[in-house]
A and B are shown apart, each in its own frame.
Chain A
Amino acid sequence: MSSRDSIFKAIRQGLGRGPLDDAARSQLDARIANPPQHIRATVDDADLITRFAQRFESRSGTTERIASLADVPAAVAALAESYAIAPSAVVGTALGELSWPDGWQIDHGAATIDVMLGVSLAWRGIAETGSILMLSGPDCPITHNFVPETHVVVLPVEHIVRHYEDCWVALRERGQGAPRAMNFISGPSRTGDVEQTIELGAHGPRRMHVLILG
């Protein structure tokens, strides 16, 4: 008997029944198709943008408001200058064609080991916890989120939702199943593994800056 078969046999033996009948199965499938809604965290803020920024900043992230997509390069350049980061970045093509200041090197490929700065477009921002949600794809490579020491994320205000559950609704409407990778990111990488004291920049970005667009 294969390991799979013996495990399923043991599960059913433990539960004291054979395989479920068709009626029971379709009931469970219906639970997946129409997921029951559970209790959520109360988010009664009228202004979700402020809530998002406050929560995100509570975990050492930084935010900045910009008016249009065209402002992204200047905002990134200013940040790079203040942290003495070389004018070079990996940028997801989801952000479209941006016009970068002279001297900037922009790459749309996967992030390699020496990349110090990444710029990406957030798919959603969650006001409840102040987290962003990134979906991986050719225009939003996942290495951009984790390899660079500094990660700048552009979050259009209309992408900000109240709860996690709003992301699930949007994801199901998108209709392609789950992307290969989906990342909720709630601030810079951190560790408490040396004497329970938090240090930033364990493995992922040491710095995270969200450009709230709109």
Chain B
Amino acid sequence: MEFRSPEFKTRAVHALHDANLQKALSNTKAGFVVKRAQAAAEMPEFEALRDTAAEIKNHVLANLDHYLEKYEAAVTAAGGHVHYATDAEDARRIILGICKKANAKRITKGKSMVSEEMGLNEALIADGYEVVETDLGEYIIQLADEPPSHIIAPAIHKTKDQVADLFAAAHNKPRKTDRAELVAEAREVLREKYFTAEVGITGGNFLVAETGSSVIVTNEGNGDLTQTLAKVHIVTSGIERVIPTLDDLSVFLRILARSATGQETESYTTFSTGPRREGDIDGPEEYHVVLLDNGRSKMLGSRFQDMLRCIRCGACMNHCPVYGSIGGHAYGWVYPGPMGSVLTPLIKGMDGTYDLPNACTLNGRCKSVCPVRIPLPDLLREIRHNQFRQDMTPKRQKQALKLWRYVAERPKLYHFAERIGVRILASMANGKGKLRSLPFDPGWTGARDLPAPTGRTFLELWQAKRGDK
């Protein structure tokens, strides 16, 4: 996937002026946020489950090597294959090899953010395979030739009319405008793909060491058709996604859907354990799991280890005011929003990712909803510290801060400057009490007015009231 995080600022400005995107984003705010709050309120155990989930993840991370070995042994015993990939290139090489051996032509895919991290689609297409995304959201953006803009709702930035245009162009059928008709049309088109694909690729939300199962949690059932009807099933997942037992899994099943979409449970929670068994009349003949490191092992033992607890529920971005204003594409890589602003610099490096942690307002809503209690604002602040230590802070910003510090450390000078400032603003407002636009920062007043001071500083008013002057 193309890396466009360095263009964050320009892309954010574009996003703010994109009417379709703003319409689509306004649809989402009420949905996910309200439903999650309801789901959490309806479950008295929810907060305790979040604590337990974080504890289980911490326990796994402290013993990750052991649980990976256990998981691998269980998959192998069930007749499957586990492959380890240090980085995206390694993963692409492994998967291209499996597809080649399977003599594949058509490959269906369920939603997998790890496969986006691998840049898998581009590599498969370059090698001549037909790649079909089957999650409806992923299918829509594949037709639009765009990356996902949300980790659980990849086409959240698209309006119904845009989907109608895409389908009409791709399917050679009369343009539909009814939502149900659009969904039915995609169902019909994709059905044939499931039955004719040689390889099906899915993600893996959880990997259970006890049984050697990969688990996906979905609403559409596309992942199930993808992995059931192809001859070869390839699971892509991160090395950190292993958990010890089915009982540990129950905890996550209870918080994942509630945090993600506000549902008590999704329609489908599916466990896959190896290829088809003796006597089975359906299911894949080969089962592979490709586990991606891609910088994860480096986070272990670092100040960023907590990030490895992430279960990719999307709650942090649903509740992020910055994400809510600019959508996911501005972030420029696979993972948007708060979790992406932590992960992108850690995986892709500090170069070109400067703006991501700095776009955060540190309002803390992400942390308050994260089901595994990842202290996202603290991690973002930590990345800012690292940027400062590495002298990456832009010169103008540093000079401005130095100047502010100089003034702030001298109370007399500070109050003098303040008195001048409020008088200038007051005269600019011309008695109207507010400023329509700021000459030195018109962006700030683009969608709001700046309340103008009355002409005297707080300190002046306070002193007058106390009769000091």
**A and B: real partners?**
yes
A interface with B by C-beta (< 8 Å): 2-4, 6-8, 10-16, 19-20, 24-25, 28-29, 31-32, 35-42, 55, 58-59, 109-113, 129, 131, 136-138, 141-143, 145-147, 163-165, 168, 171, 177-197, 199, 201-205
- Additional 5 contacts, C-beta under 8 A, given A191-B220, A192-B31: A15-B62, A39-B251, A59-B263, A180-B273, A183-B270
* Interface contact A42-B224, CB-CB below 8 Å: no
The contact of B220 among A137, A196, A203, by CB within 8 Å, is A203
Question: A32 — which chain B residues lie within 8 A by C-beta?
Answer: 70, 209-210, 244-245
* Interface contact B220-A204, CB-CB below 8 Å: yes
Closest to B139 in A: A193
CB proximity of B242 to chain A, nearest CB, Å: 11
Q: Report if B271 contacts A (CB, 8 A).
A: yes
Closest to B43 in A: A41
* Interface contact B300-A14, CB-CB below 8 Å: yes
9-residue interface stretch from B274-282, B357-365, B370-378: B274-282
Question: A146 — which chain B residues lie within 8 A by C-beta?
Answer: 221, 224-225, 228
Jot down 6 A-B pairs with beta carbons below 8 A, ordered by A.
Answer: A15-B64, A28-B63, A35-B244, A39-B49, A182-B271, A184-B269
Q: Report if B229 contacts A (CB, 8 A).
A: yes
The contact of A199 among B183, B191, B272, by CB within 8 Å, is B183
CB proximity of A68 to chain B, nearest CB, Å: 28
Question: A201 — which chain B residues lie within 8 A by C-beta?
Answer: 183-184, 187
Closest to A208 in B: B267
* Interface contact A7-B268, CB-CB below 8 Å: no
CB proximity of A196 to chain B, nearest CB, Å: 4
Docked CA distance A188–B218 (Å): 12
Docked CA distance A65–B65 (Å): 49
* Interface contact B64-A11, CB-CB below 8 Å: yes
Closest to A197 in B: B179
Question: B239 — which chain A residues lie within 8 A by C-beta?
Answer: 7, 11
CB proximity of A35 to chain B, nearest CB, Å: 4
Instruction: Rank and list the top 7 A-B pairs by shortest CB-CB distance, nearest first.
Output: A204-B221, A14-B300, A10-B297, A202-B220, A193-B137, A182-B271, A178-B211
* Interface contact A138-B251, CB-CB below 8 Å: no
Docked CA distance A32–B249 (Å): 12
Docked CA distance A112–B228 (Å): 12
Question: B56 — which chain A residues lie within 8 A by C-beta?
Answer: 38
* Interface contact A178-B220, CB-CB below 8 Å: no
* Interface contact A113-B283, CB-CB below 8 Å: no
Assess A55 versus B264: contact at CB under 8 Å? Given A14-B298, A35-B247, A40-B45: yes
Per-residue CB contact flags for chain B residues 279-310 toward chain A (1 = under 8 Å, else 0) read 11111000000010100011111100100000
Assess A195 versus B225: contact at CB under 8 Å? Given A3-B85, A42-B45, A129-B264: no
* Interface contact A28-B62, CB-CB below 8 Å: no
Docked CA distance A59–B135 (Å): 20
Question: A141 — which chain B residues lie within 8 A by C-beta?
Answer: 280-282
Question: A180 — which chain B residues lie within 8 A by C-beta?
Answer: 78, 272-277, 280, 283
The contact of B267 among A42, A109, A179, A185, by CB within 8 Å, is A185
CB proximity of B327 to chain A, nearest CB, Å: 14
Question: A191 — which chain B residues lie within 8 A by C-beta?
Answer: 136-137, 183, 219-220
Q: Report if B153 contacts A (CB, 8 A).
A: yes
Closest to A126 in B: B265
Assess A137 versus B277: contact at CB under 8 Å? Given A28-B67, A184-B268, A194-B183: yes
* Interface contact A10-B293, CB-CB below 8 Å: yes
* Interface contact A20-B221, CB-CB below 8 Å: no
Question: A171 — which chain B residues lie within 8 A by C-beta?
Answer: 246
9-residue interface stretch from B97-105, B156-164, B454-462: B156-164
Per-residue CB contact flags for chain B residues 111-150 toward chain A (1 = under 8 Å, else 0) read 0000000000000000000000011110010000000000
The contact of B160 among A38, A58, A110, A194, by CB within 8 Å, is A194
What number of A-B contacts does a CB cutoff of 8 Å give? Answer: 274
CB proximity of B117 to chain A, nearest CB, Å: 15
Assess A192 versus B219: contact at CB under 8 Å? Given A14-B299, A39-B45, A136-B283: yes
CB proximity of A135 to chain B, nearest CB, Å: 10
CB proximity of B144 to chain A, nearest CB, Å: 13
Closest to B32 in A: A196
Question: B86 — which chain A residues lie within 8 A by C-beta?
Answer: 3, 6-7
* Interface contact B63-A181, CB-CB below 8 Å: no
* Interface contact B282-A194, CB-CB below 8 Å: no
Closest to B279 in A: A138
Assess A37 versus B247: contact at CB under 8 Å? Given A28-B66, A186-B267, A202-B219: yes
Question: A194 — which chain B residues lie within 8 A by C-beta?
Answer: 136, 140, 155, 158, 160, 163, 179, 182-183
* Interface contact A183-B269, CB-CB below 8 Å: yes
Assess A20 versus B63: contact at CB under 8 Å? Given A14-B302, A204-B224: yes
CB proximity of B305 to chain A, nearest CB, Å: 8
CB proximity of B189 to chain A, nearest CB, Å: 11
The contact of B222 among A28, A36, A113, A203, by CB within 8 Å, is A203
The contact of A190 among B74, B249, B267, by CB within 8 Å, is B267
Assess A181 versus B271: contact at CB under 8 Å? Given A189-B220, A192-B261: yes
Per-residue CB contact flags for chain B residues 310-337 toward chain A (1 = under 8 Å, else 0) read 0000000000000000000000000000
CB proximity of A15 to chain B, nearest CB, Å: 5
* Interface contact A8-B209, CB-CB below 8 Å: no
Question: B32 — which chain A residues lie within 8 A by C-beta?
Answer: 196
Q: Report if B48 contacts A (CB, 8 A).
A: yes
Question: A41 — which chain B residues lie within 8 A by C-beta?
Answer: 43, 45, 254
* Interface contact A168-B247, CB-CB below 8 Å: yes
